[in-house]
Structure formats: structure tokens, C-alpha cells
Structure 1
Amino acid sequence: MLNVAILCFVAIIIIAFLKAAPEWEDAEQAYYSQWFRLGYNDQPPLYTWIQILVNKVLGLNRLSLAALRAFWFAGTLMMLYKLSYKIHKNINLSALTTFLVCLIPVFIDFNFRRLTHTSMMCFMCVSLYYWFYRLREDRSLLNYIAFGYIIGLGLLTKYNFVLLLPVFMILPFLDEKTKIVYQDIKILLSFLACLLIIAPHLYWLIDNAAFLSEITHSMRLKTKSNNYGGVPVLTPALAFGKSFINLFLPLLLLFTFQFFRKKLALKKVIPEWFEQAFWCQFIFALICFVVINSSKVSGRWLLPLFLPFLVLLTAKLQPVNIRIWNKWSSRLFYIVILFQIIRTPAEGFLGINSSVQHSFERLNEKLNKDFSNKSWVLPDVTYAGSIKLYQQDRIIYAADDFTLPKNELDSLQTVYVLKEKKLGFVLKDSIIGFGAEKEDLFLCLKLP
């Protein structure tokens, strides 16, 4: 499995160099990693902190951005294999479980093309269940501390990591062994380890009420939880169910078809607490989306929460002939990886309009030629991060960065790249039909 992880790591890096422009989350990291802050935009800061460290070693470039994403993807495969082996106690079944991630489109597509925080959260979620399994087996100091650290790191990865925690609060009432784990005084080490990790960011959040307001507003926009005219309870429940089915649809179809062909045998899940954890997670996540009255539930929001339970599927329905399943699942996995590698050049050859096919070099050259002595403010972090990759020694700013200190810019010594003309600005130049979206860009100076 280590060879598979290394292959995926290399594949993601190759793909990064085949693109004319970075994906928007890579561009976001290129932008935010210019500074060390206790908070960035509407995501926790851990990913960007690590990106800053990687940039110190490799420099800010496509390699440093892709390498970190590749690390989390490869790490998730390794942790999923280790978790699966803990439960299955079978190398072949564990390998099959890992290979089957190629049938989760969101996991493969988004990790190879764009995801940052979600990719890291997948690693943290699988790791959480792995270390919890170890903790149930051995209540050692190391396992208690590691369990707490993973929770803390997960909370600093994405805010929706908090949706995992109620599961571990409910389990002691369902599972006697989990209850014993929590009754041990060493559980305080888990709490302290978690608190030590999240304390700086938590303090910063408490001290920045405006930032909390922005996070809430962002969540409402993403989930469409404002008044949308849907039926309360029913609409969010249906949205959740549809997203969950779409997330695992290829897997569900394959296993259903093979079960009726008697190629799979129904087994009793061992350990039972893992199945209980799945139902707790499913019910709690459903309740959350119902409570916020959401009409949109993205598959990539659910992916980290339920990825560990891919192990549950192969534990519940086990192949009659594991060798044949392993053979074909591994081949399919490699085919999917190959497709991801050739996808970008194939899109260019076929003329498929994609953002990664459009370079930002034209905009960079115009700014560099006419406004080299001024600060640059781009329309958003995607533009700013993409330009930053050309300008290693220049600080680039984004208009939608609400965590940017207000006194950071001298507005009279700044050129603003706008997507529409605005009052109070004087037009100096423009680019018509820029990029995949054919956007009109206006290069302006602010009036005194």
C-alpha cells in the first residue's frame, strides 16, 4: 500500500505541472501563505501554517502547493488501510477497502484537482477513528495524548470537524469499553492536548466577533440556509439524503449488484461500536442540516465524515473471492489515476474550456509593465494567489480578504483590478474577456 500512496503522491505533482493555472484552492494557499495569521478567511489556519513551512523549504511554487495536497491524499490512503486492517485483521480485505476509494468520485476528482482543507480533514477523520481504536485496545499515555492531538488538529483543519465529536460523546452510552476509556483519569491528557493545539486560534476567534459574523454569513451562503421557500425538515432531509447517495452511488450500485449475484457474503460487523458510530454520525449530521434549514448539502462536506466507514461496507459485505476483487479493484484504481493524469492535457487538446487551461501571465505582464511601482489589489484570492506565483518578492492583496488588516494598504499608491467599473476610481487600462469566464478586468487607481 505504501507503493500505491507514493504513486498517487507523484501523480498529483505531475498533474499540477500540466496545468496552465492553479486550481482556486491552490491559488488561495499561494495568497494566504504570504502571512502568518491566527485566522484566514472562513477556514481554520492549520493548513496555511503548514503550507508556509513547506514554502520555506521548497519555495512558493506549483511543487510546494501540490506536494502538500499530495501528502494528505497519500496519507489518507495509508491511514484508511491501517484502520481497515485494525478492523478486518486481513491484508487482502484491507487493500480492497483502500482501492475502492476510486469509486468515490468526489474523493478522487477533488483531491487530484483542487481540494486542500477537505483533503487534510479526510486524513484527520480517518486518523481519529484509527487512534480511537488503538485507545480502546490500549489505554496508554501515548494513545490518550494522540487522540487529543488529532481532535485539536482536526478542529484547526475545518470547522465542520466539530460534527464528528458528538459521535464520541454518545458512544460511551452504547459501548461499555468506550465508557471505560472515558472513565480513566488519563482522558484529561486528551483534553489538555486538544486545548493546547486550539487555544491560540480559539482566543483569536473570541477576540474577533466580526470574523465570527463572516464565518456565519459564509456558512449560510454555502448551505443556502436562509429563506429559500422549501419545506422545513423535509427539504433539508431530502438534500442530505440525495448528497449522501450521490457520494457513494457507484459503490452502492456495485455492492448491491454483486450481493444479488451472490458474490458477496453478509457478515456480522466486528466491532459493533464502529457500526454504532456510523449510525450516530448519520443521524447527527442529518439533524444538523435540518436544524439550520439547509437546502444545499455538498458531497465534499459529507466525504470526510463518512470516509472512515468505507471500512464498514467491506466488513458488512465481504467478497466470496477476495483475490479476484483485489485484482480488478487495483486495476480500476490505476486506470482512474492514469485518467486524472491525462485529463488536463486531454481537455486542452479537445478544446474543453477549463479554468486550469487559462494562464494569468497576460494580467501579470500588464501589471508588471505599467504598475510595477505600486501595490496590487486583485478582485479575489484566486486572482491574487495566481498572480503571486509570478511575483515571488511582492506582496499581493485581494479585495475579498476580510482578515487583511485595514491599515495594510496605502490606497493612493495602489492599483486595483476590478471586475466592474466603480465610482471613486479612475480607469487606467483594461483586459476584455479574460480567462475561462471571459471576465472584463479594469485596472484602476483610487481617486484622492
Structure 2
Amino acid sequence: MDRESSAAFARDEFEKTGRLAQVLSKGLWPTTLFLGAYFALSIAVRLILPNSLTLDEAEQSLFSQYWLAGYGPQPPFYNWVQNAFVRVMGISLLSLTLPKFLMLLLCYAFFGMAARELDRRPAFVAMAVLSLLTLPQVSYMPQQDLTHTIAVLMATALFLYGLFRTLSRPDWQGYAILGVAIGIGTISKYNFVLLPAATIIAVFCDREWRARLLDPRVLLTAAISLAIVLPHAGWLLGNIDLATNGTIGKMVEANAPHGIIRVVRASGSLILACIAFGALAVVVFAVAFRKDFRRALRAGDRWTLLLGRIMLVSLLGVVCVILVTGTTKITERWLDPYLLPLPLYLLRKLERVGVDTGGSLGRFMPVFAVIMLVTLVPLAGKTLTGGLTGSYSRINYPFASVAETLKAGQRPALIVAEGMHLAGNMRLQFPDVPVISSGQPIAGFPPAAAMKGPVLAIWVGNGSAPGAPPSIDLSSVGALGLTASDPRSLSLPYEYGDGRTRLDLGYLWLR
């Protein structure tokens, strides 16, 4: 392509992004529809990849077999939503993917509704919504393998909308929205509870807004949030160790130091997590607005003061968690509820120094387009090029071929699989067969009357010597009194692999 052709191509692309910016600048709903189309493309990309599941997808696949008040270290809201989709649509890759992207779309929509409470200009609202793309935790990570985190992002955006609405034009609907958001957020991720606590402190610091905390309609907020939380609260009280140990364990390093060294290391981890969470947003706005950005850092109004206080008090709450729990590492994912308002905070500050941020949407569209492309490609790219790079994702595992081979023998009445990932994939491949994870059986599932042979027991090959007893725990089906066959092995090449890298499984039948 010569120089003139390149210049013409660049002009055409610029005009296209300019026309798109004009459409999106009409406000929240055109922007939401645009993002909806993007997420529909994201779903399509996921569906064309092999029919094997990531770790979080496998967990949802396995847990969708039963309704429980609690499922383990994570609260159950996402599980409940996922189960509802599976009940309506059946278990499939689509029914496992759809809830995630619908919640993510709602996160963007609620964030736009929150922005509209601060500034009703359509272009500003569109800019606020799309600015969420500069947060990797909202744009990049959900395209990889997240579930509960997306639910808490949605709840946080809804909370911000309810908060801004209640402070700017208090009515019972605003207080009700706050109750719904607090309830959903609490049973999405336990760390969400720091957000409303920090908000109470931040609102209390404003003399006029303080009256909102004393409004009788706060009781409506409390009643709604309690009604949402109560079904899980009873389970939580009886399983507090199960619910907290997993999360705290991830936040404490092995052989971690004690005393002041631990606190310093954890505080450093928190600082790095904050940088990882918001650095891209800050850099994008700083480069785009330069001198205005430096002036904006010193500017503000009541809304920026409120948001700044919420973020600061929330992070101080994290410091308290560090001191109380012995935490040594904080990941940026843990900060999602606290730092989600960052783009809106920056945009509002820029507006205070006279920058028309909404009018700058056309300048930002190429940046947003690049982010959307970059976040869409990695999972598919890694999966499809595994054979060339030698780096495989769990989606490369040949579980469809595994199921095909096993179905050629006989149909199991029950499957016992080693580990949640394998169990969740077996559930997807055998949709009408109950599946038990050998390390985490659920009492009463399946019902005793439904437990019968033949039972397929399957585990990931561990290189044990031929004839050695299988490592899988079969005590969950011991009462059936079935006789186990000799263990067999199964080795199949990865999807899009080099033909040499294989998935090794062991299995046996109990009849």
C-alpha cells in the first residue's frame, strides 16, 4: 500500500470512528446497544472455541445441578442466576456464557445511569460509560474467566446509581435501589460490605447530605437488603470457616513474615494493586488532556469530594483487613467495588476546569476501539495457536472427544469425577447424568433413590504405575455396593494442539 492509499485509508477509518462517536454521543441507550453488540460478538467468539470449560465455567456447570443457600468460599448470587438460566435453557456453553455478559452489560448501563444523575448531557454519559473500558478489571478480565467478580461489578454500578439518585433527588425508589444493590453486592462478594460502610462515612462528612442518613426511608433500604441476604445468612453462620478460609487463604502467602514486615509487604501489595487497577485510566486521561489534567487534579466539587472519600475510606478499610486477618497480598480484583468510580471521578474533575469531556468522545473512540479489540483477542488467540506456541488454555482440553470415546461403551447413570474442573466438564458433556465431584460431594445429591449403576469414575492421569489403585475417592457411591472394573487409561491430543501434547485420564466402571 503506497503513502497516498495509506493516508486515504486512515481518513476513512477516522471518519468512521467520528460517525460512530456522533451516534454514541446521543446518550446512554445508543452506547448500551453498542456495547450489547460487542458482548454478543464476545459470546460468539466463545461459542466457536472448543466445547471445554475454563475453571470458573466448570464450577458453574457443576453447581448448576442443585440449589443451595451457600456453595463454598464464594457467596451464591451468581450461582443462583446461573442456575436459573440452566433451568430455562438447559446446560450448554451458551447458557454458561450468557449470564456473565448480561451482567457485564448491566454494569455499564447502571454506571451510565449513575453518571446521568451527575450530568444529564448525553455525550458526557456516553463518555462515562465507555471510560470503564480503561479499567482492565472491567474490560479485559471478564473476557477471560470471571463470574462472581462480574456480579459484584454490576452491584457496585447499581449502588452508585442508587446513591447519586438518593443524594440528588431523594425518593423511595432511590432508597429501594440502594437496598437491592447492597443485598446483591453482599451475596456476590463478601468484600462488597466495605463499600456501603465507607459510603455512610463519606456522606456523613457532608452537612447537607447527612440528613439522607436520618431519613426514615433508610429503613426501606435496610429491609430490602436484609431480605435479599437472609437466605444465605443462615447458611453463612453455620459455615463461617468454609466461607472465609478460602478467601483469606488466597490473601496470605506461604511462609509469610510476621509483625511490621508483614504489614509493610501487604501495604505494598495494596499500592501495587491500586496502580494495576487504575493506571491505564489515569494515563489515558493524562495523555489526552495534559495541562488540563494537571489542573483537574486540584479541582473538584461535592461529587468528586464524595467519590474521593468513598474510595479512600474503602481502601483504609482494606488496610484494617490487612491488620486483622494477617493478609500479605491484595490483588486488583479485590478492589473492584472500591475503585470502580475512578473514571467518573476523573471525568468530573476535568469538567470542573472547563473541559468538555463529552465533546472529546470522538478523540477517544480509537482508544476505546483498540481496548475492545485487545480484550477480545487473547483468549481465542491463545486457544487457537496453542499448537504453535506450546501454551494451552483449559479450553484446549479435548473433553468433547473424551465424552465421545466414553459414550461408545455404555451410558453411565452417575459420574464421579476428580476435582471441580473435570466434574464441571463431565456435566457439560453428559447433560442428563448427575455428576459428583469426588472431593466435594453434596449431601443429598443425587437423591438416594436416583443413585444407581453403572457409575463412571474418572480422574486426571497422574503418571502412577500400571495396576496401581486409582487416586479418586469413591466413598460417595460406596453404599451402592457396586464392583469396580480394572482402571483404564485414555489419552487424547489437545484441541488445536501439536498432536503430541495430550490429556491423560484414568477411568473405571462400577457395576
Asked if these proteins are the same fold (TM beyond 0.5), I'd say yes
Shift of 1:142: 2.2
In structure 1, the partner of 2:211 is 180
- Specify the code of the residue in structure 2 equivalent to 1:214: L
Correspondence list, 1:185-264, <5 A: 185-206=216-237, 208=238, 211-224=239-252, 227-229=255-257, 231-258=261-288, 260-262=290-292
Flag structure 2 segments of 5+ consecutive residues without an equivalent.
Answer: 1-30, 463-469, 475-483
After superposition, the Cα gap between the structure-2 partners of 1:354 and 1:221, relative to the gap in structure 1 and judged at 3 Å, is: same
Correspondence list, 1:44-83, <5 A: 44-83=75-114
Distance across 1 between alignment mates of 2:211 and 2:289: 37
Q: Is the counterpart of residue 147 in structure 1 residue 186 in structure 2?
A: no
3-state SS in 2 of match to 1:232: helix
- Specify the code of the residue in structure 2 equivalent to 1:386: N
Distance across 2 between alignment mates of 1:124 and 1:365: 41
- Specify the code of the residue in structure 2 equivalent to 1:245: I
Shift of 1:105: 2.2
Correspondence list, 1:275-314, <5 A: 275-314=308-347
Root-mean-square deviation (CA, aligned residues, Å) is 2.9
Shift of 1:215: 2.2
Distance across 2 between alignment mates of 1:154 and 1:103: 23
Flag structure 1 segments of 5+ consecutive residues without an equivalent.
Answer: none
Distance across 1 between alignment mates of 2:489 and 2:433: 22
3-state SS in 1 of match to 2:68: coil
Distance across 2 between alignment mates of 1:164 and 1:89: 25
Distance across 1 between alignment mates of 2:456 and 2:61: 20
Shift of 1:344: 4.5
Q: Is the counterpart of residue 394 in structure 1 residue 433 in structure 2?
A: yes
Distance across 1 between alignment mates of 2:431 and 2:102: 24
In structure 2, the partner of 1:382 is 421
Distance across 1 between alignment mates of 2:358 and 2:344: 17
Aligned 8 A contact 2:492 2:502 in 1: yes
Shift of 1:261: 4.7
Distance across 2 between alignment mates of 1:323 and 1:187: 34
After superposition, the Cα gap between the structure-2 partners of 1:177 and 1:349, relative to the gap in structure 1 and judged at 3 Å, is: same
Which entry has the higher C-alpha Rg, 1 or 2? Answer: 2
Which deviations, in whole Å up to 9, do the C-alpha atoms of 1:240-278 show, x marking residues without a partner? 111110112222223344554556651323423222212
After superposition, the Cα gap between the structure-2 partners of 1:215 and 1:92, relative to the gap in structure 1 and judged at 3 Å, is: same
Shift of 1:167: 0.7
- Specify the code of the residue in structure 2 equivalent to 1:201: H
Shift of 1:321: 5.7
Aligned 8 A contact 1:92 1:323 in 2: yes
Shift of 1:234: 0.3
Give the fraction of aligned pairs with identical amino acids, expressed as a percent: 19
Distance across 2 between alignment mates of 1:194 and 1:423: 42
Pick from 22, 32, 35 the counterpart of residue 5 of structure 1.
35
3-state SS in 2 of match to 1:417: strand
Range with greater deviation from structure 2 (191-200 or 258-267):
258-267
Distance across 2 between alignment mates of 1:379 and 1:288: 34
- Specify the code of the residue in structure 2 equivalent to 1:418: W
3-state SS in 1 of match to 2:140: helix
In structure 1, the partner of 2:458 is 417
Shift of 1:125: 0.6
Distance across 2 between alignment mates of 1:278 and 1:63: 36
Shift of 1:331: 2.6
3-state SS in 2 of match to 1:224: coil
- Specify the code of the residue in structure 1 equivalent to 2:423: A
Q: Is the counterpart of residue 442 in structure 1 residue 506 in structure 2?
A: yes
Pick from 342, 346, 349 the counterpart of residue 316 of structure 1.
349
Distance across 2 between alignment mates of 1:18 and 1:184: 52
- Specify the code of the residue in structure 2 equivalent to 1:198: V
Aligned 8 A contact 1:205 1:212 in 2: yes
3-state SS in 1 of match to 2:67: coil
After superposition, the Cα gap between the structure-2 partners of 1:320 and 1:17, relative to the gap in structure 1 and judged at 3 Å, is: same
Shift of 1:7: 1.7
Aligned 8 A contact 2:176 2:224 in 1: yes
After superposition, the Cα gap between the structure-2 partners of 1:185 and 1:304, relative to the gap in structure 1 and judged at 3 Å, is: closer
In structure 1, the partner of 2:370 is 335
Aligned 8 A contact 2:195 2:310 in 1: no
Shift of 1:70: 1.1
Normalization by structure 1: what TM-score? 0.89
Aligned 8 A contact 1:100 1:329 in 2: no
Which deviations, in whole Å up to 9, do the C-alpha atoms of 1:86-110 show, x marking residues without a partner? 2244332332232222222232222
Aligned 8 A contact 1:127 1:150 in 2: yes
Shift of 1:439: 5.6
Normalization by structure 2: what TM-score? 0.78
Distance across 2 between alignment mates of 1:273 and 1:238: 26
Aligned 8 A contact 1:15 1:344 in 2: no
- Specify the code of the residue in structure 1 equivalent to 2:247: M
3-state SS in 1 of match to 2:487: strand
Aligned 8 A contact 1:269 1:275 in 2: no
Distance across 2 between alignment mates of 1:194 and 1:4: 32
Which deviations, in whole Å up to 9, do the C-alpha atoms of 1:374-407 show, x marking residues without a partner? 5211222222222222222111121243645488
- Specify the code of the residue in structure 2 equivalent to 1:428: P
In structure 2, the partner of 1:431 is 490
- Specify the code of the residue in structure 2 equivalent to 1:443: Y
Shift of 1:411: 9.6
3-state SS in 2 of match to 1:392: coil
In structure 1, the partner of 2:17 is none
